[in-house]
Amino acid sequence: MLKKHKILIIEDELELAKSTVSSLKENGFLPFHAKNLKTAKKFLRQERFTAVLLDLGLPDGDGISLIKEIKSTEIEIGLIIVSAKDVLEKKVQALELGADDYLTKPFFFSELNARLKSVIRRFNLEDNQQLTINEITLFPEEMRTLIHGKIVDLTGKEFGLLLYFFSNPNRVISKTTLGEFMTSSYVDYGFTDDLVYTHIKNLKKKITNSGGDDYIKNVYGVGYKFTVS
């Protein structure tokens, strides 16, 4: 069993923080919650975190001020900004200061899981090389897929979907969430459901044709679940 990654959630909205904590717990993380900058700083001194989720609008100051502090530690900490401010300059500023990703509220937990795991892979070499669930192995860097040791030819979108499912095992992911993920939020509504359906159908077919189990289950027509026992 791998040691659990400690994640610090800096968020002043208590309800949102509670949901985030339970969602991260379910996904195998060890989350901590700080409701303001002061508590966050205390936590950062006491614990060694793998990643930090930082809200920008905090009661005792702008989260931007904490970015440098988090990024100047000896061991690299992954940093994802989670903000309601969908302002281009803010994003640019945060990323320039060293943030690894920027997520706009409201976000989906599946999206958060996927981004978080991607950031963690970047900084933790032991997780970097490959991801394995039973007979399926993914190499995120090279975008390569092996099933029973044999290479499976997946398109970029299919690989992205599979990686997304890998980051969210046993989680119901709604069609809306998958649609947003697949279109990088560029497309507002209209045809994402069909898009999701087609790609998942193709992905399922490629996995089962290569001798893999049918992991991707349809949940009442509202979403999908990557079931791993």
Partner 1 sequence: MKLLTKTSLNFISASVIFFLVGSVTMYFSVRNIIAEDLQNRLLQQQKEFFNNADKNKISDLTSKLVFIQITDKEIDYSFSDTVLIINDSYILYRKLQFSYLLDKQYYNVSILQNQSQSDSLIKKIVIMNVGFAMLFFIIMFFVNRHSIKSALSVFYSTIRKLEDFELSKLQTLSLETAEVQEIKKLNEVFEKMATQIYNDFEAQKEYTENVSHELQTPLAIISSKADELMQADNLSKEQMEQLALLLETTNRLSKINQALIFLTKIDNRFYNQGISFSLNDLIKEKLHLFDAAIQEKNLSLDLDLLEINHVYMNPYLAETLIINLIKNAIIHNISGGVLRVHLSGDILIISNSGFPLSFSKNDIFKRFVRSENSKKNLGIGLSIVQRICELYTFKITYSYISEHQFKIVFKNK
* Both structure tokens of 76: 């690299």
Q: Which residues contact 18 (CB under 8 A, 6 or more apart)?
A: none
Do residues 46 and 30 lie in contact, with contact meaning Cβ atoms separated by under 8 Å?
Answer: no
Matching residue, tokens 């969908």: 86
Residue 179: CB minimum distance to partner 1, A? 9
Q: Specify the length of the chain in residues.
A: 229
- Angle of helix 156-167 relative to helix 109-123, nearest 10 degrees? 100
Kindly determine how many residues on this chain lie close enough to bind partner 1 according to the rule CB under 8 A: 47
List the interface residues with partner 1, window 53-72 (CB under 8 A): 57
Which residue from 167, 156, 171, 157 is spatially nearest to 112, judged by alpha carbons? 167
Is 104 an interacting residue with respect to partner 1 (CB under 8 A)? yes
Is 174 an interacting residue with respect to partner 1 (CB under 8 A)? yes
Indicate which single residue of 106, 142, 149, 229 sits in contact with partner 1 (rule: CB under 8 A): 106
Residue 132: CB minimum distance to partner 1, A? 24
Indicate which single residue of 4, 28, 47, 219 sits in contact with partner 1 (rule: CB under 8 A): 219
* Both structure tokens of 121: 């892979």
Residues of this chain that interact with partner 1 (CB under 8 A) are 13, 15-16, 19-20, 22-23, 26, 57, 84-88, 104-110, 157, 171-172, 174-177, 180, 182-184, 186-191, 194-195, 198-199, 219-223
